[in-house]
Structure 1
């Protein structure tokens, strides 16, 4: 084994130790309370080594998520995978990594995305209740509402990330396809 291969293996091992330490800590603590020192102590990696490989804990989290995505979703880029297959795989992954998904998706409760999601959901439920289109505590209805909100927020995110490539009125008109969704059960 040459020196380059040995070094690559050491880097991979260090990254894996740090990824695993972060994920283990996230099982027990909110991400924002976890420190680089805690991660390093659990991984038994010196802080200097940590900062040689990562800028901060956010960089570590991003790369850990990318590593998980590469490992877990490698089959999903195959052109034989349908959107339904991708959804099924995503839900399987959520079951497999339940604590991690729970922490990452629910932890940022005060983010703009989550605030908009809550407010939009409340508005849709109020509208549907007022128009007698909703059954109380219907799981099917909640799934439809969340799918609608997720789709709209996803498009808005895409629009912003891509420098708003069309005027907002045109975007709204294109999103008006959602008015065809049937919320009534």
Structure 2
């Protein structure tokens, strides 16, 4: 009996979240009402309030759950003593894209165009930045960069997010592994060399 109850609760929460993501895409977060969510999920308002206090509570729980899953996946990426190597950049990007592909509606709702949720993007950027910064060790000579480390991290995180948003917005135009491979080559070798365009002084 408990197992059946747990499955019903799980299905109800999934229906609520699916309805919520779809409505964010259609109307934007601010315009959504609890009644909108209940109608789309085919539940009554009281059922909604059994699981969530209000709309902000639903948003927070959705974001925290997905970001926790994303962080767990990214943390498992192997990393060498050089956190900016081509293999690390490719592995982290592929992990991001593969996770996004399993939760496309959510990420579209959180990141794309006028309906995006800015705090979600900031938290996602911090997950990427923390991973790239994981093995940074000034004692091993990594402090002697020709450019600012902070600037480098901001550049890389912006590049990651730019590709992620392009990939989602254009309905995953390249497989995750190919997009990740091309991304890492662009970042490592520069856009002209990666594209096979002769570099003129």
Relative contact order, higher structure (CA 8 A, sep 6+): 2
Taking structure 2 as the reference length, what is the TM-score of the superposition? 0.46
Taking structure 1 as the reference length, what is the TM-score of the superposition? 0.49
Between Structure 1 and Structure 2, whose CA radius of gyration is higher?
1
